[in-house]
Amino acid sequence: MSLIVQKYGGTSVGDAERIKNVANRVAQSCAHGDQIVVVVSAMSGVTDSLIALAKQITPMPPEREMDMLLATGEQTTIALVAMALHAIRVDAVSLTGAQAGITTDGVHTKAKITNITPHEVHALLDEVNVVIVAGFQGQTAEGEITTLGRGGSDLTALALAAALKADLCQIYTDVEGVFTADPRIVPGARKMDEISYDEMLELAGSGAKVMQLRSVEIAKKFGVVFEVRSSLSDKPGTIVKEETRSMEDIVVRGVAVDKNQAKVTLLGVPDKPGVAAKVFRALADAAISVDVIVQNVSHDATLPLTDVSFTVDKPDLAKALQVIESIRSDIGFREVLSDEKIAKLSMVGVGMRSHAGVAAKMFESLAHEGINIGMISTSEIKVSVVIEITQADQALRAVHKAFIG
Amino acid sequence: MSLIVQKYGGTSVGDAERIKNVANRVAQSCAHGDQIVVVVSAMSGVTDSLIALAKQITPMPPEREMDMLLATGEQTTIALVAMALHAIRVDAVSLTGAQAGITTDGVHTKAKITNITPHEVHALLDEVNVVIVAGFQGQTAEGEITTLGRGGSDLTALALAAALKADLCQIYTDVEGVFTADPRIVPGARKMDEISYDEMLELAGSGAKVMQLRSVEIAKKFGVVFEVRSSLSDKPGTIVKEETRSMEDIVVRGVAVDKNQAKVTLLGVPDKPGVAAKVFRALADAAISVDVIVQNVSHDATLPLTDVSFTVDKPDLAKALQVIESIRSDIGFREVLSDEKIAKLSMVGVGMRSHAGVAAKMFESLAHEGINIGMISTSEIKVSVVIEITQADQALRAVHKAFIG
């Protein structure tokens, strides 16, 4: 008998029919003799409707009350899923995040799980086959209702799987797994059977929208093996787990493109200690998250000036330029340039560590297509390049073809 | 500084605009320097939508999950009301029933409040001006979410007022108070300034739909003075409180008609001990609630047979007739008759105790209009008659005119 945590997202529970489908799928798992903990999101559209309702009341609703409001979305779903299971004679009990023992810090609308005490879940599993837990929510030690922010239901599922020492965590979604590239752009993209946490992290950070970074981080931290799979099919999905020796045979695991970034370049920056620190401290203080940073060596030893480029999320660009302007006199650069028409192309694979010439092959494949590279950034298992956005899809296909096929 | 509990029903918080109106009204009360606890219902229509959603999943949803589902309705409202207060710079915090310390028994969908420990409400009132509590819901000692059934938000408000030792409880609704009769039927009906608990109880049990019986019972039990008033006007409403000497000067406080009853008559019932008990036990076991019961003396001492009539809620009639049929051989009555086209007309007033001839005057006023009386039932402060439903409004006007004007 295995203990399996299954998470179903908003589209999987989008209406009464889909909720019944989820119940049937859970019932099948029960029929195998497994104990099932189901984590669900709000029905698709519900969270947005609640936010719209709040905005009708006030443009700046207090975050504590936003959590009180949004938590009703998942609470609605757990009750309906429990009803659907009862209707097909599967004993099931629903629990809010608080009832499931999910304790968080007090940072409303983006709380962090600090502790899970799953006594109630364990006790119920001894009595019934299925326990349904509201994703995305928890409560503070003082009993305040909190929510975990975007992707919060994945986080609930993975953290609960860790706390329950579950045998497997299944993340049901509307795609069949993690692909080597976005199949809408790259027709030859394949679903991967398995991928390491680190590769998944790099892909998630590179624009592959399957899961939020912090969910994968939690899974990695607690060694939770999870499977990303479709709630609409019976095919196995992609298993995400610790790196294994055999994974290194594959140089490039996946390729992703992120079209939501903008580039800022500071020209003629004094090349002396502390300058970069000032720039990125100022941006961090303004809560602007910076992704790729590139700084070249000085052109001229007698006049030590350099150029610094970095990318930010597109919606943050205007704010980033304001911040840079505000520190201009302090730093004394010559000029600031920005470009919204860029994309970041990344390829990821733990096999890169032991294979030489990977970056070179990537650059060649891009050159062959006449695609110019604006910035390059590498990590141990990733190479990212910034290119023109109009060439992004072509570049994705070219790199995928060169490494994966 | 007074502590006031204000309860707003579903229509008063039916949309964003109305919620803002409620916030403005609460803010006015705060401006007088009072501490305010606000109890709210689900926005009108929300509870029905949730029930419809559940019915799409299964015709017989488990009651525990029904409570989990329905409790989201009030939770949504408390968050929105808190937001609306913040928007006009009134410090406010929302609490679910569980957070407010409302403990109930475990009878899902119609739980009874067993205890209120309002530590959190008191603590918050020391910090902020307004605490908003979800009506209609509580939790068991084991942490299960429960709901209180119809009229549950009034119950929450009155029980909370008792527990907090509030100076006043205001029940805001869509009528201006308690009227001497339904003003849609009796043009001369007047709003009462005050009424005793007992009169309110008798009126509520007689078809006046202002409040549920058990809410008034709770108020009476704990001596909570409350005011029924409109959320759309600034006029004072009707104060409901302990009977005072001066109330006895008014013989008839109000007149009400209940058109939702049906009459069952058993003809030729053996007039011996235990027969009535069998009939009404059988009905009670089938969860059919019986209102007026009338039994006449036997016509003939040599053949002791009598007739028993009683009224039930119209939707229960078919079931009641089945129950009666099932005990026919045991009891041995001659015939059973039923009539759905009836109405119960009641007049209520503590002054009846000390005034003779009240019933006679009522019967005269009906006779004068040519209205035949089918059943009569009296209590210390109420006289009820069963008449034909087609004459109900005419009868209401006649009795109102005779006693009130």
CB–CB contact B82 A62 (8 Å): yes
Place of tokens 């045998």: A167
| Of A28, A31, A26, residue with least CA distance to A6 | A26
Segment A111-138 mean pLDDT: 95
Interface of B with A (CB under 8 A): 16, 19-20, 50, 53-54, 56-58, 60-62, 64-66, 68-69, 71-72, 75-76, 78-80, 82-84, 86-87, 93-94, 96, 99, 120, 143, 145
Instruction: Catalogue all structural domains in chain B, each as residue range(s) with its CATH number.
Output: 3-174 (3.40.1160.10), 270-336 (3.30.70.260)
Which residues of chain B lie closer than 8 angstroms to A71, CB-CB? 75
CA distances from A389 to A180, A369, A374, B266 (A): 20, 14, 11, 87
Which string of b and e fits A258-296 if b means at least 16 CB within 10 Å?
Answer: beebbbbbbeebebeeebbeebeebbeeeebebbbebbe
Q: How many CB atoms lie within 10 A of CB A123?
A: 10
For residues B205 and B348, give the distance between their C-alpha atoms in angstroms, rounded to a whole number: 10
**What whole-number percentage of chain A has pLDDT above 90?**
74
Kind plus residue range of the DSSP H or E element containing B348: strand B342-348
pLDDT tens, A318-330? 999 999 999 998 8
Kindly indicate whether the ipTM for this predicted assembly is greater than 0.95, answering yes or no: no
Q: What is the mean predicted confidence (pLDDT) over B69-96?
A: 98
Q: How far A71 CA lies from chain B's nearest CA (Å)? A: 9
| Phi, psi at B271, each rounded to 5° | -90, 75
| A122 pLDDT above the threshold of 70 | yes
Is the pLDDT confidence value at B302 over 90?
no
CB contact under 8 A, B68 and A54: no
Predicted confidence band of residue A212 (pLDDT cuts 50, 70, 90): confident
Residues in chain B: 405
How close is the nearest chain B Cα to the Cα of A100, in Å?
Answer: 11
The proportion of chain A whose per-residue pLDDT surpasses 70, expressed as a percent, equals 99
Taking the model in full, what pTM does it have? Answer: 0.85
**Residue with structure tokens 């916030």?**
B23
How much is the pLDDT for B46?
A: 96
| pLDDT of B4 strictly over 90 | yes
**Chain A residue closest in CA terms to B101:** A143
Chain B residues in contact with A120 (beta carbon < 8 A): 143
- A44-75 pLDDT per residue, tens: 999 999 999 999 999 999 999 999 999 999 99
Looking at residue A1, what is its pLDDT?
82
Residue A404: per-residue pLDDT? 92
Question: Does A83 contact B50 at a Cβ distance shorter than 8 Å?
Answer: no
Residue B298: predicted pLDDT? 66
Predicted confidence (pLDDT) at residue B251 exceeds the cutoff of 90: no
| Cβ contacts from A onto B, under 8 A | 105
Residue A357's region, left for phi above 0, alpha for psi from -120 to 50, else beta, is left
Contact predicate B224/B166, CB 8 Å: yes
Task: Name which of A25-39, A197-211, B323-337, B376-390 the model is least confident about.
Answer: A197-211
Question: What pLDDT is stored for residue A268 in this prediction?
Answer: 87
* pLDDT of the residue at B300: 67
**What pLDDT score was predicted for residue A301?**
65
Closest residue of chain B to A17, computed from CA coordinates:
B57
Determine the pLDDT at residue A292: 87
Q: Which residues of A touch B131 (CB under 8 A)?
A: none
Residues of chain B neighbouring A69 (CB-CB closer than 8 A): 75-76, 79-80, 83
The per-residue pLDDT for B303 is: 72
For residues B49-59, give the mean pLDDT.
Answer: 96
Question: Of B76, B122, B75, nearest to B98 (Cα)?
Answer: B75
- Note the pLDDT of residue A298: 66
* Contact between residue A376 and residue A383 where contact means Cβ atoms under 8 Å apart: yes
What percent of chain B lies above the pLDDT cut of 90?
74
pLDDT at B289 over 90: no
Query: Which amino acid, residue A30?
Result: C
Q: Which residues of A touch B16 (CB under 8 A)?
A: 53, 56-57
In the structure encoding, which two tokens stand for residue A265, read together? 């370049």
As a whole number, mean pLDDT of residues B43-47 equals 95
* Distance separating alpha carbons of residues B181 and B252, to the nearest angstrom: 11
* A377 neighbors A335 (Cβ within 8 angstroms): no
pLDDT tens digits for range A316-361? 999 999 999 999 988 888 899 999 999 999 999 998 888 888 888 9
> Binning pLDDT at 50, 70 and 90, where does residue A300 land?
low
Nearest to A57 among B19, B61, B78 (CB): B19
| B177 CB-contact burial (10 Å; exposed 0-12 / middle 13-18 / buried 19+) | buried
pLDDT tops 90 at residue B136: yes
E runs forming strands in A51-147: 92-95, 102-104, 113-116, 130-134, 137-139, 145-147
Q: What is the mean pLDDT of residues B209-225?
A: 89
Q: Could you tell me the two tokens for B6?
A: 């204000």
User: What element of type H or E holds A132?
Assistant: strand A130-134
Residues B331-345 have pLDDT tens digits of 888 899 999 999 999
pLDDT tens digits, one per residue of B343-369: 999 999 998 888 888 888 999 999 999
- Per-residue pLDDT, B287: 84
